[in-house]
Amino acid sequence: MRRTSVVIADRHPVVLQGLSNVLGAAADFNIVASCSDAASCIEAIRNLAPDIAIVDPAMPELAALRILSAINSENRSTHLVFFAASEDCELVLSATPVTCSIVLKDTAPEALVQSLRHIANGHNLLPSSQSGSIVSHEQGTNSESALTALTDRERQIMRLVSEGLSNKEIGRRLNIADGTIKVHLHNIFQKLEISNRTVLAALAIAQHDRATVTREKAPPD
């Protein structure tokens, strides 16, 4: 029987231990690395090429998005699964790229294993915001449709945020003041109806993913 290789990354040791216990009891899963930060997770993905990476989306310093960016930019086959708290689900759900899945932290162990088996078979899974049940990925969110309202400068800033740059670094890159960056970010948050740069970065990456998929599906000239 082929075993699904898994890397897990979470800032809480008790979560890492819990995942290790649950998946360790399933004969068809093999945890190949357990990580507490983005750098070690990215290194494990590069070196071990796991089938699945289970990542806490609330890790500090945009860690989860750095992992996602590394997977995408290097064309890794690893399927990223955000292991999210239920109270964070709406924000994560609104910004999850088409290439990712979400499993809630309050999912029962048996349901978690079944969800990961479904993912290992090539399916993307998201929890229903109403019921908490797992559903297939549906395209389109209010935030994504609102992206058309952004100015070119706001799109520039959004892209740089997705690269993990601070306001000061973005200001230097665009040759504008930190205060101006803050004003632009405030306007972006208002237009997209979001509240933080982590969700903004995820939206930028999701937009890039969807544009790439659209280009790949487009018929040749």
> What local confidence, expressed as pLDDT, does residue 29 receive?
96
- Tell me the pLDDT tens digit for each residue of 149-184: 889 999 999 888 877 788 899 999 999 998 899 999
Give the tens place of pLDDT for each residue, 30-41.
999 999 988 899
145 exposure class (CB count in 10 Å sphere: 0-12, 13-18, 19+):
exposed
**Residue given tokens 């992992």 in the structure block:** 67
CA dist 64 and 32 (Å) reads 18
Contact 167, 177 (CB under 8 A): no
Which has the higher per-residue pLDDT, 220 or 188?
188
How far apart are alpha carbons 70 and 179 in whole angstroms?
30
How far is C-alpha 150 from the chain's CA centre?
22
82, 94 in Cβ contact below 8 A? no
The yes-or-no verdict on residue 13 having pLDDT over 80 is yes
**pLDDT at residue 23, rounded to an integer:** 94
**DSSP classification of residue 207:** H
Separation CA 79–CA 77 (nearest Å) = 6
Name the CATH superfamily for 4-136.
Answer: Response regulator (3.40.50.2300)
CA distance 161 to 61: 11
Beta bridge partners, 54, equal 8, 81
Q: What is the pLDDT of residue 206?
A: 67
Instruction: Tell me the one-letter amino acid at 83.
Output: F
Given the DSSP bridges, would you call strands 100-104 and 125-127 parallel, antiparallel or unpaired?
A: unpaired
Please give the structure tokens belonging to residue 205. 């990456």
Residue spans of the domains in the chain: they are: 4-136, 142-217
Looking at domain 142-217, its CATH architecture is Orthogonal Bundle (1.10)
Question: What would the pLDDT profile of 106-138 be if each residue is shown by its tens digit?
Answer: 888 998 999 899 889 888 777 654 334 444 343
* Three-state DSSP state, 31: strand
Query: Of 89, 72, 53, 71, which Cα lies nearest the Cα of 211?
Result: 72
Give the number of residues written for the chain. 221
Measure the CA–CA gap between 115 and 113, rounded to whole angstroms.
Answer: 5
Q: State how far the Cα of 40 lies from the Cα of 30, in Å rounded to an integer.
A: 18
